[in-house]
Amino acid sequence: MSKKVILITGASSGMGKETAKALIQEGHTVYTVARRIDHMQDLKNMGGYPIQMDVTNENDIQNVVDTIIKHESKIDVLWNNAGYGLYGAVEDIPVDEARKQFEVNLFGLATITQKVVPYMRQAKSGTIINTSSMGGKMYTPMGAWYHASKHAVEGFSDCLRLELQEFNIKVVVLEPGVIATEFGEVMLKNISQFSSKGAYSSLTNQLVTATKKMYDKGQGSKPTVISKTVSKIVNETKPKTRYRVGLWAKPMVWMRIYLGDKLFDKIIMSQLS
C-alpha cells in the first residue's frame, strides 16, 4: 500500500475525524481542516496535521493548499467532507440562510477542488472524494435546501469526473445513510429555530419526534462504516464512482428510483405519523 498525502475537510468530529484517525494509523500523511481546530488536537497527537480553515473563506483555503504543497509537494487525495443540514419549511427559511447552506455544501467544496486540481493534473494522478448523502438521491419534508445542495454535489461530481478523466484523476461520490454523528443535533436545532411555530408546526413536531426517536435508539450506523469505505477508496487503484453506505442508504435510494414519486411520497410521510 503506497503512502499518500490526504486532505480532509470537516474533520473536527464524526465521519471526518474517525476516518482521519484510521488513515493516520495506516501510515498516510493526513492534513485535517475545520473551523474548530481545538477539536483536532487528538489528531495532531496521533501524527496528523490539523489546520484551522473555514470552507467558505477563500484565503483560508489558499493558505491550506499552499502549506501542504510547500511541505509535501503534492496532494494525492482530497476528501470534501465539510457540510451540514439546514432544515425547516421553504416558506420559513430566509434565503440568506439557504445561501449559507450552498456556500458550505457546494461552493466551498468547489473552491477547494479548483485549487487542488492543478497539482493533481500536473502529477497526472489523484482522487477527489465528495461527500453527498443518500439525500442527494432522495428527499424528505423540511429538507429542501439541504437536499438541493446535495443533489447539486451529485451533478457537480459527475461533470467533474468526466472533465478529469484524461488526467487520471478519479472523482468518487460518497453517499452516507444515517450515521451516528452531530448531524442530527444540528438538523434539529435548525428546524426548531425556523419552523417550530406557525403553519408548519405540526409537520415540524412530527419530524422532530421521528428524528429524536431514531437517534435516541442509536439506530445510526457507526462512523467506522465511513472510515472503512474511505480507506478502501484511498487504497484502490480503480475505485467505484459511488459508494452508498450506512443505515437506510441503499434501500431508500432503491425505493426512490424504482417506486415512483407518489408511492415514495407515501412511504416518507408514513414515517412521520
106-115: average pLDDT: 98
The residue annotated as part of the active site, out of 87, 119, 132, 139, is 132
The structural domains of the chain, with segments of one domain joined by +, span 5-270
CATH architecture under which domain 5-270 falls: 3-Layer(aba) Sandwich (3.40)
Tell me whether strands 49-52 and 5-9 are parallel, antiparallel or unpaired.
Answer: unpaired
Maximum separation of any 2 CA atoms in the chain, in Å = 56
HSE-up (13 A, CA, CB side) for residue 186: 13
Residue 211 pLDDT: 78
What are the grid coordinates assigned to 21, written together? 484517525
The residue annotated as part of the active site, out of 12, 149, 195, 221, is 12
Decide: residue 185, CB within 10 A, 0-12 exposed, 13-18 middle, 19+ buried: exposed
Cα 58 to Cα 63: distance, rounded to the nearest angstrom: 9
Whether the predicted pLDDT of 190 surpasses 80: no
Q: Could you read off the pLDDT of 10-23 as tens digits, one per residue? A: 999 999 999 999 99
The answer to whether 207 and 224 are in contact (CB under 8 A) is no
Percent above pLDDT 90 for the chain:
80
Task: Check if 73 is active-site.
Answer: no
Task: Check if 2 is active-site.
Answer: no
Task: Check if 132 is active-site.
Answer: yes
Q: Could you read off the pLDDT of 30-89 as tens digits, one per residue? A: 999 999 999 999 999 999 999 999 999 999 999 999 999 999 999 999 999 999 999 999
Task: Check if 196 is active-site.
Answer: no
The answer to whether 183 and 252 are in contact (CB under 8 A) is no
CA angle 69, 33, 125 (to 5 degrees): 40
Q: Could you read off the pLDDT of 128-156 as tens digits, one per residue? A: 999 999 999 999 999 999 999 999 999 99
The residue annotated as part of the active site, out of 31, 49, 119, 146, is 146
